[in-house]
Structure 1
Amino acid sequence: MIIFYIPFAAFILFYINQMTFRLCEQKEIPDDRQPKVYRTINILITILLISSYVEVLFT
């Protein structure tokens, strides 16, 4: 199960970061605030991926 989930999670994080980059460009977020935006989104997506893995694992 974990063999399939890790590449899936990496793909999701990569794609979310691409969308975050587009969001920062579109909304013209200043360069000094962009790392905070990336960090927040990555932490929330990582929590979501871990919780979904745990749910699938114990279901």
Structure 2
Amino acid sequence: MTILYIVLAVFILFYINALTNTLCTRKEIPEERRPRVFRTINILVTFLLISSYIEVLFT
């Protein structure tokens, strides 16, 4: 179960990064702000993945 969740989490993170890149391109976000956008989104998605794993683990 844990291995499957980790594999899916990595896939989700890569997909979210691809979507974030598309967002930055379409909204014409300046290059100097893009790392901050990616960092913020990656931290929030990682937090959601960890919290959902803990919820599944303890229910």
Do they superpose with TM above 0.5? yes
The answer for the alignment partner of 2:41 in structure 1 is: 41
- Superposed CA RMSD in Å reads 0.3
The share of aligned pairs that are identical, in percent, is 68
Deviations 1:2-55 (A, max 9, x none): 111000000000000000000000000000000000000000000000000000
- Give the whole-Å Cα distance in 2 for the aligned partners of 1:3 and 1:22: 29
* Runs of 4 or more consecutive aligned structure 1 residues displaced over 3 Å after TM superposition: none
In structure 2, the gaps of 5 or more residues are none
In structure 1, the gaps of 5 or more residues are none
- SS of structure 2 residue aligned to 1:49: helix
Counterpart mapping for 1:1-40 below 5 A: 1-40=1-40
TM-score normalised by the chain length of structure 1: 0.99
TM-score normalised by the chain length of structure 2: 0.99
Aligned residues: 59
